[in-house]
Amino acid sequence: MNVIAIMNHMGVYFKEEPIRELHRALEGLNFRIVYPNDREDLLKLIENNARLCGVIFDWDKYKP
């Protein structure tokens, strides 16, 4: 099963609802969805999980 990580700023409806819809759609395609807590958590996930095939993040919160 492939894994997709989603780092989303929760608490803002217009950002949450599309992510929920995407989550349901990806689960229907047999993807496992994980929600890392922060950048360090995401880096550990990348290092330890060869099945990670994508990361979706909130540009407003995590932009460089």
- pTM of the complete model: 0.78
Local structure of 55: helix, strand or coil: strand
Per-residue confidence (pLDDT) for residue 39, from 0 to 100: 87
Burial bucket for residue 9 (CB in 10 Å: 0-12, 13-18, 19+): middle
CATH architecture of 3-62: 3-Layer(aba) Sandwich (3.40)
What's the confidence (pLDDT) of residue 7?
87
pLDDT, residue 33, reads 94
Q: Could you report the per-residue pLDDT of 11-61, keeping only the tens digit for each?
A: 777 778 888 999 999 999 999 999 998 889 999 999 998 899 998 887 777
CA neighbor of 55 nearest in space, from 14, 11, 2: 2
pLDDT for 2-11, tens place per residue? 999 998 766 7
